[in-house]
Amino acid sequence: MHHRYFIRFAIGVLCSTLLNGQALRAQPAPYTIEVILPMTGPSAFSGQSESKAVLAMERMVNDAGGVRGQHIHFDVHDDQGSPQVAVELTNAAIASHAPVIIGAGLTASCSAIGALVERTGPVEYCVSPGYTPATGSYCFAVGVSLQNSTRTYLDFLKSRGLTRLAYVSSNDTTGLVQRQSVGEALALPEYRDIQIVDEEKVNPGDLSASTQVAKIQAARPDVIMTMTSGTAFGTLVHGLADAGLDVPMLSTTANANRDELTQFASYLPHQLYFTGYRFQLGAQLNDRTIRAQATAMTNAFTLVGAGAPTSTQAATWDAALLVVSGLRQLGPSMTAEQLRDYLLSLHAFPGVLGTYDFRGNQRGLDQRALIMVGWRPATQDYYPAANDAGKAAPR
C-alpha cells in the first residue's frame, strides 16, 4: 500500500516538474533595452531622476502583458557623468548587437556616443536636450533644441521687462554649447534690449562660488541665468543666498528635480523658472491627448513610488515610450536600421511633451511645445509661469 502510494506520489511530482519546466520554457527572458545615465558623480541627481522614468515605463508595460507577450527590462548603466565611460559602455552595447541605447544624460556624453553610432547604429536616444543629432542619422534627442529653448527663456525675459542678465555656465562642453546658443540668440534684433552684464563659469565639482557671486553682485543684474546642474547649481544658489542676492533666476530643466530642489530649498531664490511643457499645467491644460498621456505617466510613477514626474523625467519617459512603440511595431528581432527608419517616419504621435513629428526633425518637437514654469520653495511645488499658448502669465 505504501509502495503504491509512493509510486503515485513520485509520478505526480515528476509530472508537476515537467509541466512547470514547460511553463518556464514558454516564458521568454525579458527583452533588454540598454540605458546609459550618470547615476553617480556631480550629475547623479539628474541620472537617478531619469532612471525612475524608465523604471516606471518598465512596470507599466509589463503589468499590461509586455510587448507581444514578452516582458521588457531597461538595463541602466552608470557612466559617472564621464564621456569616456559612456564610450566604453557604448562599445559593450555594440558588441552585444543592441539595436538601441537610451542615453546618455549629459550633452558631452551624448556627443561622444553619437560619434560612434551616428552612421552605423545602434540608435542613440539622448536624454540631454543640449545634444544636436545629425539629420537622418541614428541619433535622436529629447525635447526641443537648445536654440529653441534659449529663445523661450529670452522671450520670457522680454515679457517680464528683465534686461540686465548675469549668465553662469559650467566650465565644460555642455556649458560651452549652451553659452554659444545664448550668444547667437542675443545677436537677434528682437533681443537687442537684453544685455549680459556679467558672465561667470563654475566647474562641475566646485564646492564654493564666492568669487563668482561677488562679481555678479557688483554687476547689479535684475535676473540670473544659469545652465549649471546638480552639485554646481547647489553651490551657486548657496553662494547667492549667503551673499543676500535674491533676484529672479532661470535655470535648466535638469534642475527641475523635486528631490534636488527640496534639498536646496533654503538657498533658492524666491523666483526660480525653468522651461517646461504643457503637461505641467495640470487642470489648465486644454489638450486632452497630452493630458491622457500625462495621466498614464503619473499613474506609472505612483506604482513605483517615484512621486510626481518632472519635465526631465517626462522627456526620458517619452524616449522610452517611442522606443517601446518601435519594439511593438517591429518585434524583438528589430534592427537598429529598422528602428531608425520607424522613428523618422513617425508623425502625429502623442507623447507627454507634445505631439511628435520626426519628418526632418530628430527630436520630433519644436519651440511650440515649450512653456515656462516656476518653482515655489515655500510649498515645494511647480506652477505655470505661462498660459497654454506659451506666453508669460501675469505675475
The stretch 192-199 carries a mean pLDDT of 96
Per-residue confidence (pLDDT) for residue 311, from 0 to 100: 86
Structural domain of residue 137, as residue ranges?
A: 33-144+287-366
Predicted local confidence at residue 383, as pLDDT: 84
In this structure, the answer to whether residues 266 and 378 fall within a common structural domain is yes
Cell numbers of 239, please? 553662494
Dist. CA 55–CA 75, nearest whole Å: 9
Model confidence at 72: pLDDT above 50: yes
The answer on 190 and 72 residing in a single domain is: no
- CA distances 254 to 134, 158, 222, 387, Å, are 23, 23, 23, 22
pLDDT tens digits for range 43-66: 898 899 999 999 999 999 999 999
Does residue 240 sit within a domain? yes
pLDDT-based confidence at residue 200 (cuts at 50, 70, 90): very high
Q: Structural domain tally of the chain? A: 2
377 and 274 housed in the same domain: yes
Average pLDDT over residues 68-96: 97
Rounded-to-integer distance, Cα 46 and Cα 38, Å: 7
Q: Are residues 41 and 137 in the same domain?
A: yes
**CATH number of the domain that 267 lies in?**
3.40.50.2300
Beta strands in 311-354 (DSSP E): 347-350
Between 260 and 330, whose confidence is greater? 330
Q: Is residue 8 one of the residues assigned to a domain?
A: no
pLDDT bin (cut points 50, 70, 90) of residue 86 is very high
User: Burial, 163: exposed, middle or buried (Cβ in 10 Å; 0-12, 13-18, 19+)?
Assistant: middle
Grid coordinates representing 286 are 486644454
Q: Which three cell numbers stand for residue 327?
A: 519594439
> Within a domain: residue 128?
yes
- Domain membership of residue 394 (yes or no) is no
Amino acid (1-letter code) at residue 389: A
Pair 127, 226 in one domain: no
pLDDT band at 4 (very low <50, low <70, confident <90, very high): very low
Same domain, 376 and 362: no
Is 125 in the same domain as 228? no
| 82 and 223 share one domain | no
Shared-domain flag, residues 89 and 238: no
Look over the chain and give the mean of its residue pLDDT values, rounded to a whole number: 89
Q: What is the pLDDT of residues 352-376, one digit of tens each?
A: 999 999 998 999 999 889 889 899 8
Rounded mean pLDDT, 188-202: 96
Of 29-43, 143-157, 166-180, 335-349, where does mean pLDDT reach its minimum? 166-180
Residue 5 lies in a domain: no
- Whether residue 11 lies inside any domain: the answer is no
pLDDT at 11: 39
Percent of the chain with pLDDT over 70: 91
pLDDT above 90: residue 8: no
Exposure string over 256-270, b if 16+ CB within 10 A, otherwise e = bbbebbeebeebbbe
pLDDT band per the 50, 70, 90 thresholds, residue 196 = very high
Whole-angstrom distance, CA of residue 168 vs CA of residue 233: 10
Identify whether 4 is part of a domain.
Answer: no
Does 248 share its domain with 376?
yes
Task: Report the C-alpha gap between 278 and 296 in whole angstroms.
Answer: 15
**Is the predicted pLDDT of residue 193 greater than 70, yes or no?**
yes
272 shares its domain with 335: no
CA distance 74 to 37: 12
9 within a domain of the structure (yes/no): no
Of 16 and 361, the one with more pLDDT: 361
Evaluate whether 46 touches 312 at the Cβ level (below 8 Å). yes
Report the C-alpha dihedral over residues 149, 276, 305, 76, rounded to 10 degrees: -10
> Residue 26 has what pLDDT?
59
- State the virtual CA torsion across 256, 203, 80, 130 in degrees, nearest 10: 50
Whether residue 182 is found in the same domain as residue 73:
no
